């Protein structure tokens, strides 16, 4: 009777290339980061179009300015946070859910501000351009809501032991 002994060795290697450095280059090159940069730029353009236009009804456009600047700063903070991996330093906050809620609220408020700006533009080219970029920012934010929803509330894998 012959006996055969089979020895199996498993080698596991880990790479720290992705974790090296301060900046997360994987995130910088991702679609989410490019979308966030596009949102920041479009919101900045929308704000500047309305802010630099010569208009007389201050109350209608101050809301637009406040909303665009607020969410521009908020999305810039999210971008910086993800680029420098700061969300890993504060694990007690559910960052994907927080970002999802900011996108949902931002989309609604920027859409309302864009409608108000479009209705009250009355032939001012800067105000028309600002409302156009506000609507464009709304579309970009809706794309982020969809991507954030897939991450936050997407289907969770279930394992059923049979």
Tens digit of pLDDT for each residue in 7-66? 666 655 444 445 567 888 998 999 999 999 999 999 999 999 988 887 666 677 888 999
pLDDT at 152: 63
pLDDT of residue 149: 74
Long-range contacts of 111-114 (CB under 8 A, 24+ apart): 111/135, 111/138, 113/63, 113/64, 113/67, 113/68, 114/46, 114/64, 114/138
Instruction: Round to whole Å and give the CA distance between 40 and 32.
Output: 12
User: What tens digit of pLDDT does each residue of 124-143 get?
Assistant: 888 899 999 999 999 999 99
Q: How far apart (Å, rounded) are the C-alpha atoms in residues 54 and 63?
A: 16
Q: What pLDDT is stored for residue 11 in this prediction? A: 59
Say yes or no to pLDDT of 5 above 90: no
Structure tokens at 20: 């090296």
Q: According to the model, what pLDDT value does residue 14 have?
A: 46
Tell me, yes or no, if the pTM score tops 0.75: yes
Listed range (5-14, 87-96, 137-146) with the worst mean pLDDT: 5-14
pLDDT at 15: 45
CA atoms within 13 A on the CB side of 10: 1
What pLDDT score does 66 carry?
93
**pLDDT averaged over the chain?**
83
State the pLDDT at residue 117: 87
Cα(137)–Cα(39) distance, integer angstroms: 6
For the chain, domain boundaries: 25-151
């Amino acid at each position: 009777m012959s006996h055969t002994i089979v020895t199996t060795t498993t080698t596991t290697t880990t790479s720290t290339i992705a974790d090296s450095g301060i900046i997360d280059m994987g995130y910088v090159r991702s679609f989410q980061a490019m979308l966030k940069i596009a949102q920041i730029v479009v919101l900045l353009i929308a704000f500047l179009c309305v802010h630099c236009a010569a208009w007389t009804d201050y109350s209608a456009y101050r809301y637009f300015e406040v909303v665009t600047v607020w969410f521009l700063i908020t999305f810039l903070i999210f971008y910086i946070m993800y680029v420098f991996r700061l969300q890993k330093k504060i694990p007690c906050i559910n960052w994907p859910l927080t970002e999802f809620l900011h996108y949902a609220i931002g989309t609604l408020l920027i859409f309302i501000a864009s409608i108000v700006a479009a209705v009250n533009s009355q032939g001012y080219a800067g105000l028309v351009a600002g409302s156009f970029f506000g609507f464009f920012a709304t579309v970009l934010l809706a794309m982020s809501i969809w991507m954030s929803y897939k991450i936050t509330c997407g289907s969770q894998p279930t394992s059923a032991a049979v």
